[in-house]
Structure 1
Amino acid sequence: MGSEYQFEYPEVEEGAPLLPDLDQSDAPYKVILKTGNIVVEYLGSDSDREVGGSVQTQTQAAVRNRRWRVSSEELMRNSPYFGALLDPEKFREGRQFLQRKMMVHRGGLTSEPGNSNGHAFDDEQSPPPFTPDPEVKYLPVIALPSQHFSAKLGVDAIELFLEILCFRSFDEELKAQFNAKLKVLPVSLIARLLELADAFNSPLVVRDTLKRAGYAFGKGKFTPSKFDPSLLKLSEDRIRQTIFVARILNEPVIFQVMTHALLVMGSKAWVNGVERPDCPVFPWRYLSNGIEEELYFRRQCVLNTITDLQAYFLRAYGGLEDPDPKPRPPAPGKPSLSVPLTTLQPRLFQCRYAYGNSSACDAFHLGQMTRFFSLRTKTIFLGSTLIDPDFALDPSDDDSDDEPDHFDSDPHSQHPPTDITAILAALKQCPDYQIDPNHIGCGVRRRFTPPLDCIERFVGDGRGLLGVDILSWPSISSTTTTTTSNNTSNDINIPIPNNRTPTSWTNRTLPRAHIIDIRFSRINAIPLLSRGTSTSRNTTTSTTPRLSPSQEENARLLFTAKKRNWEA
């Protein structure tokens, strides 16, 4: 091209078969690789293009942001999808690409309008989007199939994916700059990138590139490798995306910490239990391989333990007997004494002083506890067992707001906090009530706080003790990925036997505490431990107090115990 020749490329539209070979500032596409011999174009879905207008009305900048100059050799080498797509012996796109490539090398382009094969257009055919100039080199264009992946993955993920595929052709300076940029990219973009790479059957090259760059899971102030209450300030989507990325990149520490954070924070999808989505969702919205169900089960175990602690003190101050009393095993070497059971057990007052109003003292604290748990922390619900929740005085007016409050028996109407750390913090604010100055210390606070500290020690541990250990979990290969109508991947869970999930809390082959003793905010002993087996017939018990050296195991024993002695 002569120095005096000034070429002004015409207004080109989407779907152009050939584009001029120009510099970055003048080209109607983004240049990822200056030596690239092909332009990849993303047309987008119909609904996606409606946002920016029709093909004819979109601005040149919008069209340019959907085109990238890359190397066809790098695409075919690093992506099995492009290796098959650009193969002229397999697909029509490959044959068209070969024809256009041969036209460019042989100079088969003329100034006469023609179709993609270089022949003149018939009257019934539409004219080309632009007229080739004989003094300008051109690059063939291939369009990404818009129905192969979800448009919600974004154009930025497509551009980053193409940059990774062409990484080997970068010079050393450009490689260093790209690695520095890749290391601190947002987790949301990397999650979409990994999903896009899976759609194009190229997860390995993307994973290796992220590992080589030392991906740091964004550049925020939150450290995903250590649990901290500040992690709970992140959105649920951000936490789930971090779990998804950590699983693909094989980062077990981050995976365990972030699954712990999701368990503690709770999920909007767990309000009515774990339900498989009816419509296709991204893989981080529903964790596969039974992990979603496992996190929900563990969370319910923790909440059940907190409920059991509240019920213990309500029964104690209310003078109610344990609904499921179990005798403690005799100490080794001591014979068990046969004590006849009576129908009436003497009531043990919780009042610390043997005054005549000890019964009134207990009743006072029972009322204060009930008020605090139901109104302040909203962790218990007071309702009636006599009322049908579907009953209405006026069946013809189901939306009436004139119904009395006592007919509202929905336990979710009070909206208790979902964050377990917030629940524990609220419970620890229980005031130290007293019925009169002569009953100082008779309240529940001094006895209630140490067990809460024991629970909080496991919930707030920086190692994420309640999270899932991905190294001992079944491989991700045990799931099958399908492509749905809108091309968002959807994992199909395959039932996983218990013997393949050795760390699952639902695994019946693991030992389980029948009785566990808590004293001074710590687990003191496990006097009755079941030996886990696959069948209940072979279940044996151990009466030797034993604590596991693993804090993860102690957490499982505490939160799955059948009975807890809170003041052993």
Structure 2
Amino acid sequence: MVTLLKKPGAPRKLLAPMPPPPPADPPEVAASINIDGKAYSVVEVRTTGDVILDVSFENSSACNKSIPSEDIRKWRNSKSPIPSPRIFYRVRLETLKKNSRYFQHLLGPTFAEGVAITNTFAQLAKLNLKPAEVEADRLPRIKIVEEDVATKTIGRETIFCDMLRIIHGADHLTKPITLNCLTVLVVMADRYNTLPLVARYVQRTFINFKYPVTLDKKAEETLRQKILIFYHTDQAIRFASATKELILRGSSRWLGADETATDFQTAWWDLPDGLEAELAHRRACVLRTIASVQTQCLALYTSKDRQCKLGYDSSGACDSFQLGEMIKFLSKKELLCLIPFQAASPYDQDYIWPDAYPGDIETLIGLLRQCPSYQINQYHSHCGLRTKLLPALDYIKSCIETGVGVKFGRSKSDWVNDSWSKSSATGEKKAFWVSGADGEEVDVAGKKTEIFDFKEVKGKAGWGVNDIGGEKAAKALFLAERWNWIREQDSEFRMLKSTPNLTM
């Protein structure tokens, strides 16, 4: 593109187009080290470096990823041993110690590595030599073993070099950067205690990075990698959205899968700082809340109390009809399992014990919303499950949108203050149950039972008005121990603690 500039009183001049930016320079490999008769190239992260990092990248057959991504397929097809490269990096000692607590301790005076560096510097000083100016052979060499335990990825040496360059104030060289590259980078930064610096670099450099869209449960690993990146790089909004997605979709790791399998041994399959348990707990709370709606409806229609309030002679038949249609609908959608009264062994091969719902929670809500408006005749148009179910599901969905994802503020550790699992465990005491005046069992020794009453919720227009109110409403709903979903003012306050012979 040619730009025309005109100064006042001067003729127009043609300016030559700006040349394209030069391509990223490869790592400087300007020297070599001879060890046991073998020459190794030295990657000069800094040409004025005064320390050599001797890093062995151990790779095993458990590796299932690579950088570039196609390399793993090549190694498997060739059936040759996976290489474990040994790379030498020339770096600045003070820069490492300043930006990494790992290197600050390892290369300090309390470890043998730090003592060896001090002794080597002293020997060079006697010869009037500056470490930043001598050949790589004469510099202190620090051995590091980089295992593949946390990432199961071949080619980590390129990301390790990027991390060292970021520590030294330079740009990364690996291109193109993929989601797996970013994941390995933050995992390494966490291991070498340089996360604050790397997090700022990621926020600044990859602000427009296009994270892969995870449309279904098959993309769980990708979703988990995004959660780990967002958490370690303090991207709070994206982190809240990604954690909500995992809570709603569920995880194969939470379904009793073999956790010793290779697929579950990487860092993103065991999210740090208690996040893994927190997300699983939040999903369980949401499922328990949704189940309470149909559980209470079944309890109401199996009780002695008349649910049809029309006062017709057919009201009794209406209740029986609604109960039958309700059980038929829930059983057809595989949301209800009827258990016979006789005992059955959990090891009985012919008996299938019901499992917790493993699917997408939004899909579950959609299934329940399919409940038809059953009516025994044209005069009972407002009777049945649907009239009670839809308002409850609407409110649950509103609370899911505003308050299910894990959120933090200025510090990523802030989420602990709003932990659901911590709230559930606070103040727990040994329960002592007695019968109350209304026949209801009451725990007189334990903490106060958290009860959610749908009648006390304000109008639909106020649901999820702001983030703070939405989060409080979500916690009040999903952390409740008992629920009353009946909104009619003249209805009795009936709640179900457990339903005999019915399993959701």
Which TM-score band applies after superposition, normalised by the shorter structure? 0.5 to 0.7
1:255 & 1:15 partners in 2: Cα distance?
A: 49
Q: CA deviation at 1:190?
A: 2.6
Do residues 552 (structure 1) and 490 (structure 2) align? Answer: no
The match for 1:535 is: none
* Secondary structure, aligned partner of 1:470: coil
Unaligned regions of 5+ residues in structure 1, if any? 1-11, 21-28, 107-136, 223-229, 322-346, 393-397, 479-495, 526-546
Contact 1:81 1:201 in 2 (8 A): yes
1:261 and 2:218 aligned: no
Distance (Å, rounded) in 2 between the aligned partners of 1:220 and 1:443? 45
Alignment of 1:530-545 (within 5 A): none
Which amino acid in structure 2 is aligned with residue 447 of structure 1?
Answer: K
The aligned residue for residue 58 of structure 2 is 45
Deviation at 1:67, TM superposition (A): 3.6
Q: Distance in 2 between matches of 1:244 and 1:316?
A: 45
Paired residue secondary structure (2:202): helix
Counterpart of 1:425 in structure 2 is 366
Matched, 1:368 2:331: no
What is the CA–CA distance in structure 2 between the aligned matches of 1:503 and 1:516, rounded to whole Å? 22
2:308 counterpart of 1:350:
yes
After superposition, residues 185-334 of structure 1 pair within 5 angstroms as 185-215=177-207, 218-220=209-211, 222=213, 235-271=219-255, 281-318=265-302, 320=303
TM-score (normalizing by structure 2): 0.62
Where do 1:106-255 residues align within 5 Å?
139-140=136-137, 145-146=144-145, 150=149, 152-167=151-166, 175=171, 178=172, 185-215=177-207, 218-220=209-211, 222=213, 235-255=219-239
| The structure with more radius of gyration | 1
Q: Is the 8 A contact 2:54 2:143 kept in 1?
A: yes
Structure 2 CA distance for aligned equivalents of residues 155 and 15 of structure 1: 26
Partners of 1:259 and 1:210 in 2: CA distance: 20
Which amino acid in 2 is paired with 1:566? I
Q: Is the 8 A contact 1:33 1:70 kept in 2?
A: yes
What is the CA distance between 1:357 and its match in structure 2?
3.9
Q: Partner residue of 1:514?
A: 451
3-state SS of 1:431 partner: coil
Tell whether the 8 Å contact from 1:84 to 1:91 is kept in structure 2 after alignment: no
Structure 1 partner of 2:68: none
Q: 1:185 to 1:384 in 2, by over 3 A?
A: farther
Higher mean alpha-carbon deviation, 304-313 vs 202-211, is at 202-211
Question: 1:277-314: CA deviations, max 9, x gaps?
Answer: 89995443334444333333332222222111102222
In structure 2, what is the Cα distance between the partners aligned to 1:92 and 1:556? 50
- The aligned amino acid for 1:563 is W
Determine the C-alpha separation between the residues in 2 that align with 1:260 and 1:34. Answer: 46
- Which amino acid counterpart does residue 45 of structure 1 have in structure 2? E
Contact 1:294 / 1:505 at 8 angstroms: preserved in 2?
A: no
Change in 2 beyond 3 A, CA 1:19/1:444: closer
> Percent of counterpart pairs with the same letter?
22
Q: How big is each residue's C-alpha offset from its partner over 1:435-466, in whole Å with a ceiling of 9 and x where there is no partner? A: 4566555443243222111111122x2x5x11
Per-residue displacement from partner, 1:38-69 (whole Å, max 9, x unpaired)? 8766543373599969xxx889xx78x76465
Which of 367, 392, 399 is the matching residue for 1:458? 399
5 Å-filtered alignment, 1:7-46, equals 18-19=39-40, 42-45=55-58
Task: Write out per-residue CA displacement over residues 238-294 of structure 1, whole angstroms, 9 at most, x where no aligned residue.
Answer: 333333333322333333332222222222233369x99899954433344443333
Aligned 8 A contact 1:389 1:409 in 2: no
Decide which of 373, 378, 381 is 2:337's aligned counterpart: 381
Distance 1:202 1:252 in 2: 19
> The residue matched to 1:145 in structure 2 has which SS?
strand
- Structure 1 length normalisation: TM-score? 0.56
In 2 relative to 1, CA 551–409 (structure 1 residues): closer, same or farther, beyond 3 Å?
Answer: same
Summarize the Cα distance change of 1:37–1:504 in structure 2 as closer, same or farther, 3 Å threshold.
Answer: closer
The amino acid across from 1:558 in the alignment is L
Is the alpha carbon distance of 1:213 and 1:367 closer, same or farther for their aligned partners in structure 2, counting shifts above 3 Å?
same
Distance apart, 1:428 and its partner CA: 0.7
Superposition CA RMSD, Å: 5.2
Q: Is the 8 A contact 2:451 2:483 kept in 1?
A: yes
Q: Partner amino acid for 1:47?
A: S
The amino acid across from 1:299 in the alignment is R
Provide the rounded CA distance (Å) in 1 between the counterparts of 2:62 and 2:52: 20
Q: Which amino acid aligns with 2:308?
A: Q
Deviations, residues 370-410 of structure 1 (Å, cap 9, x unaligned): 1221221x222111232222475xxxxx6xxxx4xxxx240
Amino acid at match of 1:261: E
Secondary structure of the residue that 2:332 maps to in structure 1?
Answer: helix
State whether residues 365 and 393 of structure 2, in contact with CA within 8 Å, keep that contact through their aligned partners in structure 1: yes
Counterparts of 1:524 and 1:558, CA distance in 2: 18
CA contact (8 A) 2:247 2:280 kept: yes
Counterpart AA for 1:163: D
Q: In 2 relative to 1, CA 17–97 (structure 1 residues): closer, same or farther, beyond 3 Å? A: farther
CA displacement 1:134-154 (0-9 Å, x = unmatched): xxx985496853366637453
Alignment partner, residue 563 of structure 1: 483
CA positional deviation for 1:193? 2.0
Match of 1:359 among 303, 313, 316: 316
Question: What's the offset of the Cα at 1:425?
Answer: 0.7
- Give distance in 2, aligned partners of 1:151 and 1:520: 46
Give 5+ residue unaligned stretches, structure 2: 1-32, 64-71, 129-133, 428-446, 489-504
Q: Is the 8 A contact 2:159 2:181 kept in 1?
A: no
* Aligned-partner Cα distance in 2 for 1:310–1:49: 45
Supply the AA of the counterpart residue of 1:470: F
